[in-house]
Amino acid sequence: MNFLDYAPAPESTSILNLKKSYGLFIDGEFVKGHGKPFLSISPSSEEAIAEIANANSTDVDAAVAAARKAYDRTWSKLSGADRGKYLFRIARLVQERARELAVAESLDNGKPIKEARDVDVPLVAAWFFYYAGWADKLDYAGLGPNPRPLGVAAQVIPWNFPLLMLAWKIAPALAAGNTVVIKPAETTPLSALIFAEILQQAELPAGVVNIITGAGDTGHALVNHSDVNKVAFTGSTAVGRAIAKSVAGTGKKLTLELGGKAANIVFDDAPIDQAVEGIVNGIFFNQGHVCCAGSRLLVQENVHDEVVDRLKARLATLRLGDPLDKNTDIGAINSQVQLDRVRELSDIGEAEGAERWSAPCVIPEKGFWFAPTIFTNVSTSSRIARDEIFGPVLAVLTFRTPAEAIAKANNTQYGLSAGIWSDKGSKILAVADQLRAGVIWANTFNRFDPASPFGGYKESGYGREGGRHGLAAYLKGASW
């Protein structure tokens, strides 16, 4: 036998206790939506998981009204210590139900269970624990004495890290004393609905968090609702720009976390084996569905061939397939729409003269899949070097000197993240100092911690999530 054809090791779905259909979570209860319900499907099998309610503007009104009532009557009157208790309770329940949440996330999103289990869900718990600690210490956050919450926060989140993005939004909002109406992405509502059950279990006062499902129309109605005080959006730059326009002049506070086209810079003195791992983790983690993915590899010309050879050898060992198998490294692309976009941009890359190489993976018959792909011989003007692909596709470019690396890394309309690989600490600091991106990783990539602020320059958005900075987005008087 071939040892490397590891026997199947599927995580059981028996831990899930799914309903056939889910309503909207408004004022502490599941209620029917007034729009036409839709199905959430598993991207690895294209099979339906559950029927999901669709919130129309009436439902949005009800959700915002519930949040307003909860803010006025309950949540704004609680002490910080009491808000913290609820957040700690939620964090512990997330840990208790971690396996269930991880399975749901993998099933609904298509991401490998090992990532949902080892990255997404532990970070979700960490985020709630972290902000639970802040709830009674807002006076010491450096935002002035007795900072006040904003009121009702409207939050719209993407499909790439459904539960983690929910935690990034809800935890600081509640810690700061706001109430929330949140809309998960239409392709990945499942974990948010299980999270609603956790909120019931935690006996969070009704209306403090409302979860409404739906597509773009629902999100549009929510962010444009006249009674919300704060809009927080994570998603594409195009939608973010539209939201910024519609919110302008309304007095609503806005944070946007949008796209990226991060440079991952590998110098010739890099720890080469770890750099190769970092490149893989930078762009193939979560199938490249990561806004801060290291999608542009900038490698010093004198080590280009060696790095690319080693990278190809490493990519050939990646396992693509059933996301629920514990040995799967690369899961499914989240939707047909996204798969089409990845294919289209990859074809454009090839047409523009770049050299395409894909890992030799067996692609399953059903579901949405794209083999890990790298493009070499990419020019800086090529679309695959400029546009966010949001898939497992890496564009490899070269540079000769640190100055050229910095110039090329900054030559993008985005500025969310960047990576630097070198064994020389002074070089890392000097280069990091000149990169215009919100997060710079040195000799690592895609590492997240609730204590560290995260956010973008330029078209990657504004405002910061995480850390003390993340509180400022939900308090009056703070600078954003």
Active site residues: 257, 291
Question: What is the spatial distance between Cα 50 and Cα 42, in angstroms, rounded to a whole number?
Answer: 10
Question: What is the spatial distance between Cα 262 and Cα 264, in angstroms, rounded to a whole number?
Answer: 6
Q: What letters, b where the CB count within 10 A reaches 16 and e where it falls short, cover 430-459? A: ebbeebbbbbbbbbebbebebeebbbbbbb
Tell me the closest approach of the beta carbon of residue 1 to another protein, in angstroms: 6
Q: Residue 261 — φ and ψ, nearest 5°?
A: -150, 70
Instruction: Decide if residue 341 touches another protein (CB under 8 A).
Output: no
Q: Which stretch binds another protein (CB under 8 A): 75-83, 200-208, 267-275, 343-351?
A: 267-275
Instruction: Decide if residue 302 touches another protein (CB under 8 A).
Output: no
- List the one residue from 34, 69, 148, 326 that touches another protein (CB under 8 A): 326
Q: Which residues contact 221 (CB under 8 A, 6 or more apart)?
A: 55, 56, 57, 60
Q: Which stretch binds another protein (CB under 8 A): 50-58, 152-160, 270-278, 459-467?
A: 270-278
Tell me the closest approach of the beta carbon of residue 366 to another protein, in angstroms: 23
Q: Which stretch binds another protein (CB under 8 A): 4-12, 25-33, 74-82, 133-141?
A: 4-12
If binding means CB under 8 A, how many residues of this protein chain bind another protein? Answer: 25
Q: Which stretch binds another protein (CB under 8 A): 7-15, 33-41, 198-206, 461-469?
A: 7-15
Based on its alpha-carbon atoms, the radius of gyration of the chain, rounded to whole angstroms, reads 22
Q: Residue 268 — φ and ψ, nearest 5°?
A: -70, -15
Residue with smaller CB distance to another protein, 192 or 308? 308
Which token pair is 400? Answer: 């000769």
Question: What is the spatial distance between Cα 380 and Cα 349, in angstroms, rounded to a whole number?
Answer: 12
Residues in 103-142 at the binding interface with another protein, rule: CB under 8 A: 114, 118
Residue with smaller CB distance to another protein, 1 or 251? 1
Instruction: Decide if residue 362 touches another protein (CB under 8 A).
Output: no
- List the one residue from 224, 236, 444, 452 that touches another protein (CB under 8 A): 444
Instruction: Decide if residue 413 touches another protein (CB under 8 A).
Output: no
Residue with smaller CB distance to another protein, 173 or 270? 270
Question: What is the spatial distance between Cα 311 and Cα 291, in angstroms, rounded to a whole number?
Answer: 22
**Cα–Cα distances in angstroms (integers) from residue 195 to residues 63, 104, 253, 381, in the given order:** 17, 11, 26, 44
Eight-class DSSP state of 140: G
Q: Apex CA 216: angle with CA 213 and CA 222, to 5°?
A: 65
- List the one residue from 250, 327, 358, 452 that touches another protein (CB under 8 A): 327
Q: Residue 353 — φ and ψ, nearest 5°?
A: 105, 0
Residue with smaller CB distance to another protein, 114 or 252? 114
Instruction: Decide if residue 273 touches another protein (CB under 8 A).
Output: yes
471: exposed, middle or buried (Cβ count in 10 Å: 0-12, 13-18, 19+): buried
Q: Apex CA 366: angle with CA 360 and CA 371, to 5°?
A: 25
**x-or-dash string of contact with another protein, 237-256, rule CB under 8 A:** --------------------
Residue with smaller CB distance to another protein, 278 or 450? 278
Residue 259 in contact with residue 459, Cβ under 8 Å?
yes
Q: Which stretch binds another protein (CB under 8 A): 1-9, 102-110, 149-157, 401-409?
A: 1-9
- List the one residue from 8, 144, 216, 425 that touches another protein (CB under 8 A): 8
Tell me the closest approach of the beta carbon of residue 448 to another protein, in angstroms: 14
- List the one residue from 58, 317, 379, 401 that touches another protein (CB under 8 A): 317
Question: Which residues of the shown chain bind another protein in the complex (CB under 8 A)?
Answer: 1-4, 6-9, 114, 118, 269-275, 277-278, 317, 326-327, 423, 443-444
